[in-house]
Amino acid sequence: MDTLLSSEGDSQRTQYPYVTGTSVIGFKYKDGILMAADMGGSYGSTIRYKSVERLKQVGKHSLIGASGEISDFQEILKYLDELILHDNMWDDGNSLGPKEVHNYLTRVMYNRRNKFDPLWNSLIIGGVKNGHKYLGSVGMIGVHFEDDHVATGFGNHLARPILREEWRADLTFEEGVKLLEKCMRNLLYRDRSAVNKLQIAKITEEGLTVSQPYSLKTFWNFAAFENPTVGATGSW
């Protein structure tokens, strides 16, 4: 088995995602970071799981949101658990902030990609440490960057354009939630793997809260939806 030129002996490495989560959206606001993700876990074209928590706390200062393969996300949470545990064992009054967690995850993702065995996720890490807000994104090939607003998957196409127009640095919590809901509603209408059950997470200097799951109101009563064949009965 010539491992230099062929990959026959390593056929386990090429992966396809099985149970996947769809977009995550996050942006900075006045007091910290706001993030939203729905609770769907799709198995191909079936919406198999409807209570998947895709927003999780990491240490004291950070929040991670993941889309992509759910089992790989669970593995990443295990790595992060170990990271935070070792950090706590130093017991030196210092704790890893979002920037450090982001950097760690970037290295993990990139090194896995180099071994042709990626963790099939797009991650968003946000947090506040010492008054400094941080929001970053890492993908399965190790592409990483920092911005005022980030999204994964479909969120890039449907939510980022809205955020580019309407995001401001001084959004209050209420305005931020309204903006998040606007984006999530868009995704609900136009992303086939979205489910109408979402959680919103907020992280500030004081701490992190992940909301209870709730649904968005949708509107379907356009005249053209109710009667699409006006003027040509029998057509479509």
Partner 1 sequence: MLSEAMDSPKLGFNFDLYTRNHMLLTKKGLKPPGYLKTGTTIVGLIFKNGVILGADTRATAGSIVADKNCEKIHDMAPNISCCGAGTAADTEAVTDNINSQLKLHRYHTGRESRVVTALTLLKTHLFRYQGHVSAALVLGGVDLTGPHLYTIYPHGSTDSLPFATMGSGSLAAMAVFESEFREGLSREEGINLVTKAICSGIFNDLGSGSNVDICVIEKGKKEYLRNHLTPNPRTYISSKGYSFSKKTEVLHAKVTPLKELVNVVEVVGDAMEE
Binding status of residue 236 toward partner 1 by CB under 8 A: yes
| Residue count of the chain | 236
# binding residues, partner 1 (CB under 8 A): 25
With beta carbons less than 8 A apart as the criterion, state whether 27 and 63 touch. no
How far, CA to CA in Å, does 81 sit from each of 56, 87, 151, 207?
11, 10, 24, 18
Could you give the angle at the alpha carbon of 112 between the alpha carbons of 109 and 115, nearest 5°? 150
With beta carbons less than 8 A apart as the criterion, state whether 56 and 77 touch. yes
Nearer to partner 1, 43 or 189 (CB): 189
Q: Which one of residues 30, 48, 182, 197 is an interface residue with partner 1 (CB under 8 A)?
A: 182
x/- map, 210-229, partner 1, by CB under 8 A: ------------xxxx--xx
The catalytic site residues sit at: 14
Nearer to partner 1, 93 or 231 (CB): 231
Q: How far apart are CA 122 and CA 145, in angstroms?
A: 12
* Interactions with partner 1, residue window 133-162 (CB under 8 A): 154, 157-162
Binding status of residue 67 toward partner 1 by CB under 8 A: no
- Contact set with partner 1 (CB under 8 A): 154, 157-162, 164-165, 182, 185-186, 189-190, 222-225, 228-232, 235-236
